[in-house]
Amino acid sequence: MDEIRIISEPPFSKDITVFFGFPGSGLVGSIAVQYLVDSLGYKYLGGITGRLFPPVAMMMEGVISSPIRIYGKDDCVAVVSDIPIPPEDCYDLTQALLDRFSEHRIKEVAVIAGIVTNSGEKRVFGVGSEPKNLDTIREFVDVLPMGSISGMAGSILSECKARGIPAIGLLGETVNVPDPRSAVAVLEKVNKIFEFDIDVEKLLTEAESIEESMQRIAEQMSGNEDESEPVKIEHLPMYG
């Protein structure tokens, strides 16, 4: 069996823009890109399997789905993952994905991810594989003057630069818990940059629900003086 198997229908156009969303800080990438896919009615094209990935099958409304999925609509393609990719496997998966999409003409790659800060704000930071790519988003984002981007987001952006593929990164300011508010902030920038019309109201409502649930958990834990008494953890929505 192959290390990585991409089993997918081809995109709907020969010239494509590719969005990537992988789990990371705040799950911003996977939340945002999955919401983009659902909101704009992208079609499921296929999935990715192989020995590199854990034996996990996702289920959506009773139907089995790949934990790493490819969607498409018009001249856009989106890759969304529910599972984090180990650092040692990021390079191989990046190569496989860009090799497959390079069978078409990639107009641009957009990587969405989270970045942890201590400010508590929901700013969106932008990076570009080249100055001209950064210039296309500079008016919509805060430019990161210095730093590093790890995981699949960093791997994809680095490989795009090496291959001469135009690429941008949109990094939502977040914390290390599921953060749909950060995903909303990024999607609002996506709407402006790509002239989409993604309605983020539902995601905002879900953000409020998550925050209320987490607040109740914190209150339960802080008030649980008897260590033998179990803390009731309420169900949190699942994203990705």
Backbone φ and ψ for 229, nearest 5 degrees, come out as -85, 125
68-104: per-residue pLDDT in tens? 999 999 999 999 999 999 999 999 999 999 999 999 9
213 within domain boundaries? no
Q: Which two tokens stand for residue 63?
A: 């139907």
Q: What domain count does the chain have?
A: 1
Structural domain boundaries enclosing 149: 5-199
78 within domain boundaries? yes
206 within domain boundaries? no
User: For residues 167 and 110, is the Cβ–Cβ distance under 8 A?
Assistant: yes
235 within domain boundaries? no
196-219: per-residue pLDDT in tens? 999 999 999 888 777 676 667 666
215 within domain boundaries? no
What's the pTM? 0.87
Side chain identity at 119, as an amino acid letter? S
* CA quadruple 53, 56, 61, 62: dihedral, nearest 10: 130
CA 205-61-11 angle, to 5 degrees, is 90
10-45: per-residue pLDDT in tens? 999 999 999 999 999 999 999 999 999 999 999 999
236 within domain boundaries? no
CATH code of 23's domain: 3.40.50.10900
- 38 closest CA partner among 51, 23, 53, 21: 21
